């Protein structure tokens, strides 16, 4: 990827899909394929590092939450532990799955089917505020996040369903999912930058500019996407997202079946 238009479009896709339960990975595959972007080490770096813009959008939108108590950070740490452990134990398996667009498509479709019924399964919430989550509930929600290591599952979908399974309303579960995204995405970004620097050396000025553009766009779009999603989810639930995932997963399967070469970026 070398042009600013591609960076702009991918930034929009990232900002729109990172916090929605639709799998940003699946959408990145379709977007990059339609634009004819060839996978290389920088594009892999780019699609991870523009998550920094989304991290910043969470911080700005929920600014006050980050200065209430140290206990807030303890809960995030507890919830983050399962993903760290799973990542270290199953890195090779995860890397193998990341090479398969079909895995992404299947994850999208199966996850979509689950979302069609989530509102019926967890229709009697006990907690309306994500601040009331306990360390135990945070840890169990973090265990659900591990499922998102399967491409196409969606980190947002997995953690929101995990929060609802623990008795939280859709709004409260979504908000905690946003907060949990911060250490998860920050850790992935730092590791990706370190690995890239170790193998490829320093980024060029042009590459840095592309990253800045992608992050700025993802930041702005992410704020609007989060506001829309929380309000929509509280009123309407998951069903429409379930059907949407099934359609997107079906598109990827059709592209693969027609011989179209898709690559995980």
Question: Cα–Cα distances in Å, from 199 out to 70, 113, 170?
Answer: 37, 40, 42
- Chain CA centroid to CA 217, Å: 16
Supply the pLDDT for residue 201: 83
Map 212-257 to HEC letters: HHHHHHHHHHHHHHHHHHHHHHHHHCCHHHHHHHHHHHHHHHHHHH
CA distance 97 to 187: 20
**pLDDT band per the 50, 70, 90 thresholds, residue 1:** low
Q: Over 80: is that where the pLDDT of 90 sits?
A: no
Q: Poorest-confidence range of 55-59, 143-147, 173-177, 198-202?
A: 198-202
Domain ranges of the chain: 4-257
**pLDDT band per the 50, 70, 90 thresholds, residue 12:** very high
Supply the pLDDT for residue 150: 80
Between residues 140 and 86, the one the model is more confident about: 140
**pLDDT band per the 50, 70, 90 thresholds, residue 98:** low
Q: Over 60: is that where the pLDDT of 264 sits?
A: no
Neighbour-count burial of 205, counting CB atoms closer than 10 A to its CB (0-12 exposed, 13-18 middle, 19+ buried): exposed
Beta bridge partners of 168: 127
227: which residues sit within 8 A by CB, 6+ positions away? Answer: 61
Supply the pLDDT for residue 65: 84
């Amino acid at each position: 990827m070398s042009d600013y238009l591609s960076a702009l479009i991918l930034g929009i896709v990232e900002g729109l899909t990172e916090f929605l339960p639709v799998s940003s990975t699946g959408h990145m595959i379709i977007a990059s394929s339609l634009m004819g972007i060839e996978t290389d080490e920088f594009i892999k770096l780019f699609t991870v590092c523009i998550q920094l813009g989304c991290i910043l959008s969470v911080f700005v939108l929920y600014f006050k939450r980050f200065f209430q108590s140290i206990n807030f950070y303890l809960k995030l740490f507890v919830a983050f532990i399962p993903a760290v452990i799973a990542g270290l134990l199953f890195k090779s398996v995860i890397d193998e799955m990341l090479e398969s667009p079909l895995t992404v498509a299947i994850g999208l479709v199966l996850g979509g089917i689950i979302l069609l019924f989530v509102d019926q399964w967890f229709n009697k919430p006990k907690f309306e505020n994500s601040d009331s989550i306990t360390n135990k509930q945070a840890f169990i929600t973090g265990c659900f996040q591990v499922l998102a290591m399967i491409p196409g599952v969606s980190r947002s979908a997995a953690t929101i369903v995990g929060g609802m399974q623990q008795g939280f309303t859709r709004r409260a579960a979504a908000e905690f999912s946003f907060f949990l995204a911060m250490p998860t995405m920050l850790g992935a970004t730092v590791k990706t930058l370190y690995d890239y620097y170790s193998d490829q050396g320093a980024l060029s000025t042009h590459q840095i500019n592309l990253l800045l553009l992608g992050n700025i766009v993802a930041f702005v779009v992410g704020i609007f996407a989060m506001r829309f999603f929380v309000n929509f989810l509280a009123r309407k639930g998951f069903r429409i997202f379930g059907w949407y995932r099934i359609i997107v997963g079906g598109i990827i399967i059709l592209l693969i079946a027609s011989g179209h070469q898709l690559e995980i970026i």
